[in-house]
Chain A
Amino acid sequence: DSGVTQTPKHLITATGQRVTLRCSPRSGDLSVYWYQQSLDQGLQFLIQYYNGEERAKGNILERFSAQQFPDLHSELNLSSLELGDSALYFCASSEKGQGMDEQYFGPGTRLTVT
């Protein structure tokens, strides 16, 4: 158990809908990262937050957004969903988000868009 929690574990929704994925980092970790894992693209970095502020953006679509709240949990919002958004979404956390400290991964949320 990494100490990172993600809810829900599974999500099935229809095209065009909007969903919210939630992540609680390990106690004391200030930085949260979101990754998408799909069969064709592999594991891709989406976005990073550090202590409530956006730190870095990767291959995140404009239909996707995220935020980190004062209690440090983070939410990833996916809207206007398409079939191709079906994937496993991981959240990871690290202590500082500065320098290369270890990232601890949650169990993931499996999103299926039908």
Chain B
Amino acid sequence: AQSVTQPDIHITVSEGASLELRCNYSYGATPYLFWYVQSPGQGLQLLLKYFSGDTLVQGIKGFEAEFKRSQSSFNLRKPSVHWSDAAEYFCAVGPRPGAGSYQLTFGKGTKLSVIP
């Protein structure tokens, strides 16, 4: 069964500092990979996704993520964090075609706090 691990439950960074949120997955092949953000009281918004090709993907709000097959990782990065980035971030995997169903499996999330 596929699974997603986000090792950091809570991260605090200063505004303007760089950010890296970790995500490791377990899956029989290369899955589809996603990062979502959830602001307090809000639904989930897709930040970026990786399906194939270039392993460095760009997303919205200045975020990027790098897929590393050898490490089964898909870490999210941002060079300079803004106070409005404070939220909870979820990494998710989805199965490839032929799997029969396409639900997402989510990690437990990483809560990001930003110090002004």
Interface residues of A (CB under 8 A from B): 2, 4, 33, 35, 42-45, 48, 55-56, 58, 90, 92, 94, 97-100, 102-108
Contact = CB atoms under 8 A, between A and B. Distances in A.
Interface in B63-108: 90, 94-97, 100-108
Nearest to A94: B102
Contacts of B102: 48, 56, 94, 97-100
Which residue, of B45, B104, B108, has the highest number of chain A Cβ atoms within 10 A? B104
Interface of B: 32, 36, 42-46, 49, 51, 90, 94-97, 100-109
Given A2-B45, A105-B44, A107-B43, A100 B103 contact: no
29 contacts: A2-B43, A33-B103, A33-B104, A42-B106, A42-B107, A42-B108, A43-B106, A44-B106, A45-B105, A48-B101, A56-B102, A90-B43, A90-B44, A94-B102, A97-B102, A98-B102, A99-B97, A100-B51, A100-B96, A100-B97, A100-B102, A102-B46, A102-B49, A103-B46, A105-B43, A105-B44, A105-B45, A107-B42, A108-B43
